Amino acid sequence: MTSRRMCAAGLAAATLAALTACGGSTPGGSGGTGSAAGPVTLQFWGWAPGYQQSVALFNKTHPDIRVTFQTTASGAKGGYTKMLTAVKAGNAPCLAQVGYETLPSFAAAGALQDVSAYADAAKPQFAAWTWNQVGIGGQVYGIPVDTAPMALLYRKDLFAKYGITAPPQTWAQYAADAARVHAADPKVYLGDFGNDAYQYAGLAWQAGAKWFGTSGDAWQVSIDSPANAKVAGYWQGLLAQHLLKADPSYDASLYKDMGDGTVLSDVNAVWDAPIIASSVDKSTSGDWAVAPMPVWNAADPVYGNDGGSATAVLKGCADPKAATEFAVWMSTDAASVSNLIKVTGIYPAATSGLQNPQLNAPDAFYGNQVIYDVFRDETPKIDTSWQWGPTMTQTSTDLGTGLGRAGSGSSTLPGVLGSVQSSTVAELKNQGLSVG
């Protein structure tokens, strides 16, 4: 779902006043309880498949701490709103799955608890840029779980049917293949153009088309920059030629189209691999494969990232030490990481996780390919200087709506970016933040 510049330089400089509410540990709340007579109990809210199994593994081996996992809607579909509402009401869980992109917004809202006293010792166990995703101005609000390198997940049998002898290495080749497929059968499409803002963010990230930055104490917003216009122009060109399907992201209609051969591929994150495997027609198992996402310049390949989450500690947690102990364990324990790789589709943030044998396991759905080899090779070529802003709840909602309109033909992507630029600047100012 990105270096010190992403969090410390951004939020510490530009939202310092807003973050003062996040400074300390606040006793109370219903998310964590404990007594001398029994174990500490912690509530954990999230939506990712596989988290429940890791919680069960923890409970088997930690008699002094008991974690109960409650499945919520995904963050963008109401989960984050529920969490923030619970914090305001004083009955939030101790732990919550929060994407790196949304953690700055939670921090600015005063919804997170500083656990640096308990978490700092774990810092060496994680890739540096992922640790910076959970730390702002010297405070730490959770533990990294994963990163999300992107790839091309495709039907190798149908690529062969339409004369695509190898997956496209560049976006120019992707466009040519899209035209080839649609010319052969106007009811078939190489890919889908969905309405997920963070999937689109990964495409912008790859192209160096940043959305946020800081200068002194002011935020800079560049959603409609020339670099972003390049990305938008490319996808608008494919839409204008009707070379892409426009099913909503992660919708049943998309998986039906993937299963019946109407949509041949998806450019998405590592965690999309198990989602596709569990959602499309099971008769297609073995027909799928994973290749690197197409790049702009084959001589200097750069890839995108779409996601990555933290196990965050919410304000009001009565036992932040126990909460942090669980969060570190979930991200570093070998059995937990194996489970999260297999079921959730994570690419681990913990450096030890990168040696987990599950990353080397052949995947039957993808023709017994060791799909993590693709993500392992891409990861060093992802720019980790991408920065999220404190308005991503608003920005992602507005962009997602605009992407849907662009897919339907009622708007254009350049126009959408201009609109989201304006609404994001307005929201920053509404929050009392400076905009440069």
Per-residue pLDDT tens over the stretch 316-344? 999 999 999 999 999 999 999 999 999 99
**Pair 163, 131 in one domain:** no
- Which residue would you say has higher pLDDT here, 394 or 16? 394
Domain residue limits at 172 = 150-304+386-430
φ/ψ (deg, to 5) at 143: -125, 135
**379 belongs to a structural domain:** no
Please tell me the distance from the alpha carbon of residue 262 to that of residue 220, in angstroms, as a whole number: 41
- How far, CA to CA in Å, does 243 sit from each of 175, 180, 412? 8, 9, 15
Indicate whether 140 and 175 sit together in one domain.
no
**Quick one: 289 and 393 in the same domain?**
yes
Is residue 131 domain-shared with residue 27, that is, in the same domain? yes
- Domain check: are 403 and 260 in the same one? yes
Q: Which pLDDT band holds residue 26 (cuts at 50, 70, 90)?
A: very low
* Domain shared by 192 and 113, yes or no: no
Q: Are residues 282 and 411 in the same domain?
A: yes
Residue 124 has pLDDT above 50, yes or no: yes
Whether residue 18 is predicted with pLDDT greater than 90 in this model: the reply is: no
Question: Mean pLDDT across the chain, nearest whole number?
Answer: 92
Residue 175 belongs to domain with CATH number: 3.40.190.10
pLDDT at 33: 57
pLDDT of 21 above 50: no
Shared domain check, 184 and 314: no
Q: Predicted confidence band at 37 (pLDDT cuts at 50, 70, 90)? A: low
Q: How far is CA 10 from the centre of its chain?
A: 19
In a domain, 376, yes or no: no
Q: Which is nearest to 109 in space by CA: 431, 434, 324? A: 431
Reply yes or no on whether the pLDDT at 9 is more than 60: no
pTM of this prediction exceeds 0.75? yes
Q: Are residues 406 and 296 in the same domain?
A: yes
Q: Return the pLDDT at 422.
A: 98
Counting every residue written for the chain, the total comes to 436
**Three-state secondary structure call for residue 45:** strand
Residue 102 lies inside a defined structural domain of this protein = yes
> Does residue 212 fall inside a structural domain?
yes
Name residues whose C-beta falls within 8 Å of residue 91's C-beta, 6 or more positions apart in sequence: 29, 30, 31
Across the strands, what pairs with 69?
Answer: 44
Residue 397 tokens, joined:
């909602």
Q: What is the pLDDT of residue 4?
A: 29
> Do 108 and 234 fall into the same domain?
no
Question: Of all residues in the chain, what percent carry a pLDDT higher than 90?
Answer: 88
Q: How many domains does the chain have?
A: 2
Same domain assignment for residues 163 and 257: yes
Residue 24 has pLDDT above 80, yes or no: no
Four-CA torsion 93, 96, 101, 103, nearest 10 degrees: 40
Checking if the pLDDT of 269 tops 90, the result is yes
